Amino acid sequence: MQLRYVFTELRSGLRRNLSMHVAVILTLFVSLTLAGCGMLLQRQADKTAEALGNELQILVNLCVVDDPNGSPTCGGGAVTDPQRKAIENALKENPEVESYEYQTQEEGFEEAQDIPQYEPYFDGPDPIITVEDWPPQYWVTLKDPKEAEGVKSAVEGLEGVSVIQDQREDLEPVFGIIDSLKYGSWIGSGLLLLASLLLVANTIRLAAMARRREIGIMRLVGASTLYIALPFLLESLVTAAIGVALTAGALAAFTRFAILDGLADVIEFVPWIGWDDYVQSLIGLVPPGILILGPALTLIPTLLLTRKYIKV
Amino acid sequence: MIRFEKVTKNYPGPGKPALDQVTVDIDKGEFVYLVGQSGSGKSTALRIVLRELRPTSGRVYVAGKEINRMAGWKVPRLRRQVGTVFQDFRLLPNKTVTENVAFALQVIGKSRREINRVVPETLEVVGLKDKGSRMPDELSGGEQQRVAIARAFVNRPMIIIADEPTGNLDPATSVGIMNLLEDINKRGTTVVMATHDHGLVDQFRKRVVELDQGKVVRDEAAGSYGFQH
Ligand SMILES: Nc1ncnc2c1ncn2[C@@H]1O[C@H](COP(=O)(O)OP(=O)(O)O)[C@@H](O)[C@H]1O
Ligand SMILES: [Mg+2]
């Protein structure tokens, strides 16, 4: 296939509609950046909830050997199986409890690795905190966040319970901020995505108008639909590529300056997202990452509209 | 080569059908005039051959294939076998004569080598050997129509369809265009030409199919234009 024509057309198409293409790229850039921030914030919320529980959860730490809290209910050293059974029963029977989950020492220790404030304790050849020091935990989800006293008093005095952690008051503002930022990003992103769809549609229409004569002749002499559509598709792909590249840069800056050098230094009891989450926001499948979202947003309307304008 | 079986075409809206139970059979290598008053359905019939339009009922065969039931993706292949020429030339104003003719080959994926060989050859056939680098607006109407014919013929189609190709030309120039179409026909290409140019039809005697309000009212070998205008 001879593609010289396609590339000549691509170049003249990009030049002809330069202002429209710039408009598409900018809206796409801002909307994708907002979508990406929304995805990162969602991952932040998930990660926080995984490590510290969400705003509906309290944590029941069980005893370990040489319990650091020196709790009188830890007299017998590490929690025993019968003690654990009794604690679990108390949770099962309590009307304030929606559900509960048991987390082993290993699982808890693993989750805690990402929390900045613990970092110094895990470091070195002879770390201050090891797996054995990390308490096994019950993660208790409440039916009503305002009613926790009943379950707390039911479990508090039981043998094998070291301490009850209720971090909901600390976590609430964190989740509150993350949630409002997240929904803000998504709404803004949604509106701008709509705007970029309309801009793409308009660009295609203008381009099809400008090339009406050529398209008519191409159809007449038997050029394939794909061949006729190719300059349009490539034009869209170029704008998408530029939009995506700008977005990847902006999200990298967000991850670097807002998260790693910003929030993570200030709020230390929360595990923060990092570069692996950034990569996911680019290439993830669910929710679709920027690398999928950007081209899809320009190519799908282009395909639909070129089908309409160049119908054989 | 082209066969219409009881073809009827109704455009949306009220009014008589543009084509009404038309049955015509055109053999390979024939030269056929399609005559009739303005609005008698000539252009409609030609557009059906290209599958730019689909008939409301009836069957249409082109080069042995029933084109109405043909899948959409095969339509480009059909059109590569049918060259088209119009009254208004339809050249690209920003391309030279050579580029205009080459365009038809480029967009169907022919190699540059083949294009460089076939385009000058075809320009010679239409008598524009020396004018390849001219722009369309530097040519007379007759010469522009020759470029359009070159573009239609450059891929050596089996059929050439011409819708009033001399409609914008003076009589002397029209005769030149007719000579050219005749020449192309002698090379084996089937030519179907819609026209209401009496003089030409009477001068170059060919088969005449006459339409009146969408019906075939005459089909005569080596006919004259007839009495109506
Ligand atoms: N696109 C169209 N929509 C509706 N009616 C049409 C259309 N094209 C042609 N017609 C009608 O169909 C009839 C035949 O038209 P046409 O095939 O163009 O005739 P001719 O080429 O012989 O002048 C006319 O009555 C014309 O008004
Ligand atoms: Mg007509």
pLDDT at B108: 93
- For B47, the closest chain A residue by CA position comes to A220
User: Cα(A208)–Cα(A232) distance, rounded to whole angstroms?
Assistant: 9
Segment B37-44 shows an average pLDDT of 95
Atom index in ligand 1 nearest the CA of residue B211 equals: 22
Encoded tokens for A125: 């050849």
Query: What is d(CA A136, CA A59) in angstroms, rounded to the nearest whole number?
Result: 10
**Residue-level pLDDT at A74:** 85
Residue finishing a domain among A134, A166, A198: A166
Residue B212 forms beta bridges with which residues?
Answer: B215
Residue found under tokens 């790693």:
A260
Contact state of B84 with A219 under an 8 Å Cβ cutoff? no
Residue nearest to atom 21 of ligand 1 (CA): B43
pLDDT of residue B36: 93
Q: Nearest-CA distance from B157 to chain A in Å?
A: 10
**Amino acid in the structure at residue A2:** Q
- Residues A114 and A246 occupy one common structural domain: no
Same domain, yes or no: A84 and A139: yes
Find the residues whose C-beta lies inside 6 A of ligand 1: B 11, 18, 36, 38-44
Q: How far is residue A137's CA from residue B172's CA, in Å, rounded to a whole number? A: 102
Of B72, B107, B112, the CB nearest to A218: B107
Q: How far is CA A164 from CA A107, B9, B197, in A?
A: 18, 84, 102
- Contact flag A221-B73 (C-beta cutoff 8 Å): no
Rounded distance between C-alpha atoms, residue B4 and residue B49, angstroms:
9
How large is the average pLDDT for residues B221-225?
Answer: 78
pTM attached to this predicted model: 0.76
Pocket test for ligand 1, best of B43, B161, B215 (most atoms within 8 A of CB): B43
Given a cut of 60, is residue B229 above it in pLDDT?
no
Residue given tokens 């179907």 in the structure block: B192
Domain extent listing, chain B: 91-156
Residue that the structure tokens 């976590």 belong to: A171
* Residue A287 preceded by cis peptide, ω within 30: yes
Q: Could you tell me if A258 and A301 lie in one domain?
A: yes
H, E, C per residue of B121-176: HHHHHCCCHHHCCCCHHHCCHHHHHHHHHHHHHCCCCCEEEEECCCCCCCHHHHHH
Identify residue A23 by its one-letter amino acid code.
Answer: A
CA dihedral A271, A276, A279, A281 (to 10 degrees): -30
Contact A261, A303 (CB under 8 A): no
Place of tokens 């613990």: A118
The DSSP bridge pattern shows strands B190-194 and B159-163 to be parallel
- Name the residue at shortest CA distance from atom 20 of ligand 1: B39
Q: Which candidate, A173, A295, A177, A152, places its Cα nearest to that of A237? A: A295
Give the C-alpha separation, A119 to A127, whole Å: 10
- SS3 of residue A289 by DSSP: coil
Residue A216's pLDDT is 93
Closest partner CB to B92 (pick from A4, A217, A219): A217
DSSP letter assigned to residue B84: E
Tell me which chain B residues have a C-beta less than 8 angstroms from the C-beta of A218. Answer: 107
- CATH, residue A94: 3.30.70.3040
Identify which of B38, B40, B44 to mutate to test ligand 1's pocket (most ligand atoms within 8 A of the CB): B44
Nearest CB to A312; choose among B72, B90, B155: B72
A82 and A213: one domain?
A: no
Contact B90 A5 (CB under 8 A): no
Nearest Cα residue to B197 out of B162, B172, B225, B228: B225
Shared domain check, A179 and A32: yes
A90 in the same domain as A48: no
Atom 2 of ligand 1 has which residue's CA nearest to it? Answer: B11
What mean pLDDT, rounded, does chain B reach? 94
Residues in chain A within 8 Å Cβ distance of B103: 5, 214, 217, 221
DSSP A261: I
Task: State pLDDT tens for residues B106-149.
Answer: 999 999 999 999 999 999 999 999 999 999 999 999 999 999 99
Residues 6+ apart with CB under 8 A from A103: A136, A137, A138, A139
At residue B118, what are phi and psi to the nearest 5 degrees? -80, -35
**One digit per residue, pLDDT tens: chain A, 312 residues?**
567 777 888 888 888 888 889 999 999 999 999 999 999 999 988 888 888 777 788 898 999 888 877 788 887 788 888 899 999 999 999 999 889 999 998 998 888 888 888 888 888 778 888 888 889 999 998 888 788 888 888 888 888 888 888 888 788 888 888 889 999 999 999 999 899 889 988 888 888 888 889 999 999 999 998 888 888 899 899 999 999 999 999 999 999 998 888 888 888 788 888 899 999 999 988 889 999 999 998 998 888 888 887 765
Task: Please tell me the distance from the alpha carbon of residue A87 to that of residue A100, in angstroms, as a whole number.
Answer: 11
Judgement on whether residues A279 and A158 belong to the same structural domain of the protein: no
Residue to probe by mutation, ligand 1, list B10, B11, B37, B163, most atoms within 8 Å of CB: B11
Residue with CA closest to ligand 1 atom 8:
B44
Residue B228 has pLDDT above 60, yes or no: no
Secondary structure of residue A99 in the 3-state scheme? strand
Q: Which atom of ligand 1 is nearest the CA belonging to B43?
A: 21
Interface of B with A (CB under 8 A): 50-51, 72-73, 75-81, 84, 90, 92, 103-104, 106-112, 151, 155
Q: State the Cα–Cα distance between residues B183 and B174, nearest whole angstrom.
A: 14
- Are both A259 and A274 inside the same structural domain? yes
Closest Cα of chain A to B224: distance in Å?
31
More confident residue, B157 or A235: B157
**Which residue among B72, B107, B111 places its CB closest to the CB of A223?**
B107
Taking CB atoms and an 8 Å limit, are A221 and B112 in contact across chains? no
- Residue B76 is nearest to which of A2, A216, A224, comparing CB atoms? A224
CB contact under 8 A, B77 and A214: no
Polymer length in residues for chain A: 312
Could you tell me the two tokens for A199? 């801009």
| Domain final position from A166, A199, A215 | A166
CB contact under 8 A, A224 and B73: yes
**A24 and A47 inside one domain:** yes
Name which of B30, B89, B39 is nearest B229 in CA terms. Answer: B39
Tell me: do A185 and A288 sit in the same domain: yes
pLDDT at A308: 81
Ligand 1 centroid–CA B209 distance in Å is 18
Show which of A166, A199, A225 is a domain's final residue. A166
Residues B160-218: tens digit of each pLDDT: 999 999 999 999 999 999 999 999 999 999 999 999 898 999 999 999 999 999 999 99
Comparing alpha-carbon positions, the chain A residue that sits nearest to B94 is A214
**A177 and A41 co-located in one domain:** yes
Number of A–B residue contacts, CB under 8 Å: 61
d(CA A43, CA A58): 21
The domain of A158 spans 57-166
Q: What are phi and psi of A13, to 5 degrees?
A: -65, -45
Q: Is ipTM over 0.85?
A: yes
Same domain for A221 and A132? no
Q: For chain B, say whether A214 makes contact (Cβ under 8 Å).
A: yes
- CA–centroid distance, B43 to ligand 2, in Å, is 4
Whether pLDDT at B57 is above 90: yes
Domain total of chain A? 2
Contacts of B8 (CB under 8 A, 6+ apart): B17, B19, B20, B21, B22, B55, B56, B57, B58
